[in-house]
Amino acid sequence: MTVVVAGPSKASSDIARGIAEAMGSRMVTVESKRFPDGESYVRIPEDLGGEDVIVVHTMASPQDRSVMELAMLVDAARGLGASRVIAVAPYTAYSRQDTRFLPGEPVSIAVVLKLLYASGSTGFATVEIHKEHSLRYYPGKAVNVRPYTFMARSIGLGGDLLVLAPDQGAIPRAEGLARSIDAEYDYLVKHRDRVTGEVVIEPKNIDVDGREVLIVDDIISTGGTIAKAAKSLLSMGAKRVNVMVAHLLGIPGSIERIASSGVERIYAAYTLPRVDDPRVSYIDVSSLIAGEVSRGFKL
């Protein structure tokens, strides 16, 4: 019997509950507090001897604390005698620093994944990591859950939609979704200046005139990428632009920036704390995570 341990945040505990329900498993809530100097304390108040354990904790802001809490919970589960411990991070922080863009930089995602392995996890799962090949930095088995088709089916999207990747890196996301809902897909070309950080969308000859467009991306951070893409699509005659992402960070001003570019709706998987905004629709992907984790780790 698998036990699901919920990390110490509302989002983590909501997602963990969904996973536990979908798997028909017991869920354990952890004790947590902060020491006067700011360090985190966590404790799993139940026996886990001989169990397969899934520890669910999303790496929301403050990310460093969330990463540390997840690693400590993995260690705590091993200390309680769990036989296998799978760390499930619905959102994996630091995944965009997946290479040394400039000399002297760390590969931050490698640091995070190696920490989780060194803490005693025997497997790792996440929802739509920025680049799937980053999972090679995790020395054990790792599962990347792609949420877009599940999300599109939950909302009932399909048909005449043009699915659009905001850059070439996102083409597999757009292509995979488009194929599964029998829609067309295309992409825009994005260039990011590594030093200034400025994002430039170069005009492409995409016939979006009169089309309903769904931009698919892994993450909304500042909202700059989506806002620029949407503006350019609407200026090319798109009838409507909506957005689907795996992770909505909820950085202040990001939704406003996207809405003022003309986007009507943002569909976000529930992987991070909810932003209370009528323009955002969250989709519960916990049952999808449960299925992929069960299959991937033969639970």
Active site residues: 190
In the complex, the smallest distance separating the C-beta of residue 140 from ligand R5P, rounded to whole angstroms, is 26
Distance between terminal CA atoms of the chain? 8
In the complex, the smallest distance separating the C-beta of residue 287 from ligand R5P, rounded to whole angstroms, is 25
Residue with smaller CB distance to ligand R5P, 222 or 287: 222
Residues in the chain: 299
Exposure letters 6-21 (e unless 16+ CB within 10 A, then b): bbbbebbbbbbbbbbe
| Site residues (CB under 6 A) for ligand R5P, limited to 134-173 | 166, 169-170
Are the C-beta atoms of 95 and 26 separated by less than 8 Å?
Answer: no
Residue with smaller CB distance to ligand R5P, 97 or 225: 225
Q: Which pair of structure tokens corresponds to residue 252?
A: 């202040």
- CA pair distance 173, 153, nearest whole angstrom: 15
188-196 long-range contacts (CB < 8 A, ≥24 apart) are 188/164, 188/229, 188/232, 188/233, 190/166, 190/225, 190/228, 190/229, 194/101, 194/102
Site membership for ligand R5P, residue 292 (CB under 6 A): no
**Residues near ligand R5P (CB under 6 A), total:** 14
Residue with smaller CB distance to ligand R5P, 121 or 261: 261
Helix, strand, coil content of the chain in percent (nearest 5): 35, 25, 40
- CA pair distance 55, 259, nearest whole angstrom: 35
| Site residues (CB under 6 A) for ligand R5P, limited to 29-88 | none
- CA pair distance 131, 286, nearest whole angstrom: 21
Residue with smaller CB distance to ligand R5P, 7 or 250: 250
In the complex, the smallest distance separating the C-beta of residue 133 from ligand R5P, rounded to whole angstroms, is 14
Residue with smaller CB distance to ligand R5P, 122 or 254: 254
What stretches of the chain show up as alpha helix (H) in DSSP?
10-23, 63-79, 108-118, 148-155, 171-181, 224-235, 254-260, 286-297
In the complex, the smallest distance separating the C-beta of residue 26 from ligand R5P, rounded to whole angstroms, is 36
| Site residues (CB under 6 A) for ligand R5P, limited to 217-276 | 217-225
| Site residues (CB under 6 A) for ligand R5P, limited to 201-220 | 217-220
**Residue 16 CA: distances (Å) to CA of 59, 87, 271:** 14, 12, 11
- CA pair distance 211, 229, nearest whole angstrom: 15
In the complex, the smallest distance separating the C-beta of residue 58 from ligand R5P, rounded to whole angstroms, is 17
| Site residues (CB under 6 A) for ligand R5P, limited to 90-119 | 96
Residue with smaller CB distance to ligand R5P, 83 or 168: 168
In the complex, the smallest distance separating the C-beta of residue 264 from ligand R5P, rounded to whole angstroms, is 18
Q: Which residues bind ligand R5P (CB under 6 A)?
A: 96, 166, 169-170, 199, 217-225
